[in-house]
Amino acid sequence: MKLCAVLGTNIRKVRADRGLSQEELAHRAGIDRSYLSEIENGHKSVGVVVLDDIAAALEVDITDLFKGYKRPRSRKAG
């Protein structure tokens, strides 16, 4: 799974576990609800400052939002 998809899935899961709507989380993180929706759906790349704001609003460590991500093996040119 790609990094944006993993982040989105983890944000959505934690948000649901906390009983927060997208609108409430977006408000707490200081972002637009439609932007949050695109992040949760893996359609938007997110900057580290916004990601930190989301993690703070969810009251989780930012690294928790990366759980389950496995970097693909790089291919060596040659």
> What is the Cβ-side half-sphere exposure of residue 35, based on CA atoms within 13 angstroms?
13
Tell the CATH topology of 3-62.
Answer: 434 Repressor (Amino-terminal Domain) (1.10.260)
Distance CA 77, CA 26 (A): 42
Domain limits, the chain: 3-62
Which pLDDT belongs to residue 72? Answer: 81
Which pLDDT belongs to residue 76? Answer: 67
Tell me the one-letter amino acid at 66: F
Distance CA 17, CA 30 (A): 20
Model confidence at 59, in pLDDT bands (50, 70, 90)?
Answer: very high
Distance CA 21, CA 39 (A): 14
- 78 has a pLDDT exceeding 90: no
The better pLDDT of the pair 33, 76 is held by 33
The better pLDDT of the pair 78, 28 is held by 28
Which tens digit of pLDDT belongs to each residue from 16-30?
Answer: 999 999 999 999 999
